[in-house]
Structure 1
Amino acid sequence: MGGTSTVHDKPRAPAAEPLRVLRARSWDDPKLARRGHDPRSAYVERFWVAVLGPSAVWFLRLLAREFDELAPDEELRLDLDTTARRLGLQHRGGRTSTFMRTVDRCAMFGLAYFTDDAVLMVRRHLPSVPRRLHDRMPQELRDEVGHWSRTDGQADFSVGETRLLASCMLMLGHGLHESAERLVTLGFAPNAANEATAWAWAQHCTRPRPRGRN
């Protein structure tokens, strides 16, 4: 289930009763946790949007934020009408609604899959856009995407130092996307900057929160 090349069937046919609540669970992949891209990252902003479309990326980002607040074994319960409206979409017409077409698009590209009609597994980290999908991008992005796979450009910094710098940026209040962009402007290879920022973000989100006073 966790392999990056796994292909899943498209979502099952809808149940007789209209689906009102969707249970979403985290689809974790150790390989992508190290090499993949957080849905809120600069890489996804640049390249996956051109393939998935903005609505699907917004949906993945929304779930990423919600998953950050859960324990590893917890699941989300999404009211479909409310979730659709949070994304500026509609959930009318069941499986044919604009919102469910957005969900199905995530499944089409292997970023989510249904275990049954009401349970959706969603990737916490996205793979790099497969080469076979590069022709869906405009030419300027096709020229740029190869640059983002480089790991050179950081000879003076170890992986640990790069991650530390990314952690410092997050502690200063910079967001995930902004931190990755700042590392790139400092001369780090985009893929190395993205990996370090994704790692630092995961550490930031899983750090125990202080208990409130009684």
Structure 2
Amino acid sequence: MPLAPLTFTADEPTLMVVPWHDPIVEAVGFEVRSLYVELFWLNVLGPTATWALRRLVTGLDRYPLGYEMDLADTAGMLGLAYSVGTSNSFARALHRCVLFGVSQQVPGGLAVRRKVPPVARRHLARMPESLQTMHQQWHRRDCDLTDLQRGRALAEVMMSAGDDPEVVERQLLAVGVSPAAAAEAVHLTSPHSV
């Protein structure tokens, strides 16, 4: 089911921005202004949505419980034109943030992640080979042997039960396996790995 685009009406020149609390992503995720986001999420979101996300989180730094964002003013600060409706680059950027799960619609506004999860495998598969290699190296550098063994044992059980590799990786993260070990464990136990 396609997600309905965000719409802004003429009588609502502002949008409420609140934090999206997700304990799992907050434990294993990456800061929105991190090098990880610049290297890997930029390829998924695109530059305009990445900058919009950073701007939204910067507002949450100043107002941790949430704030009212002036749509035209914020678009202008990002060098974007703004008009009411969805046919403008700023609205499309905010919609991409929702589409890719770094923000979500809530009544009256958007809930925004302060940390984003590791990039999903399906997005990695579409990246240039050089970025895929960089991503593998990024995750392998923090992988401890005990954590990898634990992750692999759990992944083997879940895969043998028929779980999808992406579901397995999320479950490993949820039980405290490091992102590097979770990604490597899934890679090693996936029927597609050779």
Compute the TM-score of the two structures, normalised by the length of structure 1.
0.61
2:100 pairs with 1:112:
no
CA distance in 2, matches of 1:25, 1:89: 22
CA distance in 2, matches of 1:127, 1:120: 18
2:66 pairs with 1:75:
yes
CA distance in 1, matches of 2:89, 2:133: 32
SS state at 2:60 partner: helix
CA distance in 2, matches of 1:60, 1:16: 21
Q: 1:3-23: CA deviations, max 9, x gaps?
A: xxxxx9734663664541111
Letter in 2 for 1:41: S
Q: 1:185-207: CA deviations, max 9, x gaps?
A: xxxxx96xxxxxxxxxxxxxxxx
CA distance in 2, matches of 1:76, 1:51: 26
Distance apart, 1:126 and its partner CA? 0.3
2:54 pairs with 1:64:
no
CA distance in 1, matches of 2:104, 2:2: 8
Aligned equivalent of 1:53: 46
Q: Which runs of 5+ in 2 are unaligned?
A: 145-178, 181-194
Out of 75, 92, 114, the position equivalent to 1:101 is 92
Q: 1:148-175: CA deviations, max 9, x gaps?
A: 122238xxxxxxxxxxxxxxxxxxxxxx
Letter in 2 for 1:100: A
Letter in 2 for 1:106: C
CA distance in 1, matches of 2:68, 2:6: 20
Aligned equivalent of 1:129: 119
Q: Do the aligned partners of 2:5 and 2:95 also contact (CA within 8 Å) in 1? A: no
Q: Do the aligned partners of 2:103 and 2:113 also contact (CA within 8 Å) in 1? A: yes
SS state at 2:131 partner: helix
Q: Do the aligned partners of 1:10 and 1:113 also contact (CA within 8 Å) in 2? A: no
RMSD of aligned alpha carbons: 2.6
Q: Do the aligned partners of 2:41 and 2:119 also contact (CA within 8 Å) in 1? A: yes
Structure number with higher relative contact order (C-alpha < 8 Å, ≥ 6 residues apart): 1
CA distance in 2, matches of 1:139, 1:15: 38
CA distance in 1, matches of 2:2, 2:26: 23
Return closer, same or farther for 1:27/1:135 CA change in 2, 3 Å cut-off. same
Distance apart, 1:135 and its partner CA? 2.9
Distance apart, 1:68 and its partner CA? 1.3
SS state at 1:68 partner: helix
Return closer, same or farther for 1:9/1:121 CA change in 2, 3 Å cut-off. farther
Distance apart, 1:77 and its partner CA? 0.7
State, as a whole percentage, how many aligned pairs show the same letter. Answer: 35
Return closer, same or farther for 1:14/1:62 CA change in 2, 3 Å cut-off. closer
Out of 118, 130, 141, the position equivalent to 1:140 is 130
Distance apart, 1:39 and its partner CA? 0.8
CA distance in 1, matches of 2:55, 2:71: 13
SS state at 1:28 partner: coil
SS state at 2:31 partner: coil
Letter in 1 for 2:28: R
